[in-house]
Amino acid sequence: MTLRDTHVNMGHGGGGQAMRELIADVFVAPFDNPLLATMEDQARLPLAELAALGDRLAFCTDSYVVDPLFFPGGDIGTLAVAGTVNDLAMGGARPLYLSCAVVLEEGFPLEVLRRIVASMQQVAAQAGVQIVTGDTKVVGRGAADKIFINTAGIGVIARGIDLSARNARPGDIVIVSGHLGDHGAAILVARNQLALEADIRSDCQPLSGLVAAMLAVCPEIRCLRDPTRGGVATVLNEFATASGVAIRIDEDALPLREAVRGACEILGLDPLYLANEGKLLAVVPPAHADVVLAAMRAHPAGVDAAIIGEVIDQPAGMVFMQTGFGGQRVVDMLVAEQLPRIC
């Protein structure tokens, strides 16, 4: 059954036939899996299969709002799946099942919704996860900005894996999986308030495959986190604070695209605080750093991985950087949103 409507109307959230048709046509058909196809009020997950994969469930949720909805390298749909998959993966979990709840503004074009759902399905397939339950709400014009998506995810953590921001120890090596700040810079350029033209694409991608490859060569990895909002600086500060250690990074070692560097120069922004949506930071025992780095570079999501710094003991809770110019400075937590400077 195909919907004849071209835009979302209040009837699509009314609980009746129109809503059923919307869900069946726009969500269930493209997500195409037996757990969802039953259209029960809940997905029923096979416990024994989960238990065979590990000894802990990982469970997380995230809501996605982005302006603009489409940007070079992705859209709100790719973000909504990759973001939650990555939250699971950073705990060492193998992501398996996602939910998808959508809040739609009256008048939202169904053609655009279909494109977003297609992106979600594409990233889900790439990450090997199924979207097995969902919800749709429609609100009146002006009560929401076009579309908000929430996804929650379940994954399984294999026995023996213990990743935590508290685990960093002096001597450990800090690795980043690729170029920094691509997503944040792409969004800034896509908003076009600055009339900047630059070929910058968001790095939005699922990292579960990369994490699996890393854990396969080194189950002793100490910390993993994806530096989304707040960027690399924020995650490194979280590691340093939680572990009671200091982290020293080397500015010259940071992988940074020229276009992103240029955009930051013009706007007075610091790439260390720009969001990433397809990168991870890893803290690794020194003896395993080379093998982990090699495994990362052999994976498509980690070809530009680089060692950027090391963990030392003092001063605890601090992150600082050896500048390319030859000086040294503190890399602090961001106070609030980065705002462009006046001069």
Partner 1 sequence: MKYVDEFRDPAKARVLVHAITRRLDGIASRRQRPLQIMEVCGGHTHSIFRYGIHRMLPSTVEFVHGPGCPVCVLPMGRVDDAIALARQPGVIFASFGDAMRVPGSKHSLLQARAHGADVRLVYSPLDALQLARDNPRHQVVFFALGFETTIPATAMTLMQARADGVHNFSVFCNHITIIPTLRAILDEPQLQIDGFLGPGHVSMVIGIRCYDFIAREYRRPITVAGFEPLDVLQALAMVIDQIADGRCEVENQYGRIVPEHGNPLALAAMAEVFEPRENFEWRGLGSIAHSGVRLRAGFAAFDAERIFTLAHRRVADPGDCQCAEVLKGMIRPPQCRLFGGACTPQTPLGALMVSSEGACAAHFRYARHGMALPPAATTTSAATAT
Site residues (CB under 8 A) for partner 1? 173-174, 193-194, 246, 248-250, 252-253, 258, 261-262, 265, 286, 289-290, 293, 306-310, 312, 314-315, 318, 320, 322-330, 332, 335-336, 339-343
* DSSP state letters, 4-39: --SB--GGGGSSSHHHHHHIIIIIIHHH--HHHHT-
In angstroms, what is the minimal distance from the CB of 78 to partner 1?
A: 27
Q: Hey, what's the torsion of the CAs at 144, 147, 148, 149, to 10 degrees?
A: 160
User: Which backbone phi and psi does 294 adopt, to 5 degrees?
Assistant: -65, -40
Q: Using the minimum distance from each CB to partner 1, give the nearer residue, 102 or 263.
A: 263
The span from the CA of 308 to the CA of 298, in Å, is 18
Q: What is the dihedral of CA 185, 62, 119, 9, to 10 degrees?
A: -110
Least distance CB 74 / partner 1 (angstroms): 24
- Residue (66 or 289) nearer to partner 1, CB: 289
Q: Could you tell me the smallest distance in angstroms from the CB atom of residue 110 to partner 1?
A: 30
**Closest distance to partner 1 from the beta carbon of 188 (Å):** 11
Instruction: Report the residue number, 31 or 320, with the smaller CB distance to partner 1.
Output: 320
Give the residue with the Cβ less far from partner 1, 118 or 316.
316
Closer CB to partner 1, 107 or 262, in the complex:
262
Residue 137 pairs with which residues in a beta bridge? 103
Output the six-digit token pair for 83.
Answer: 């973001």
Smallest distance, Å, CB 124 to partner 1?
Answer: 34
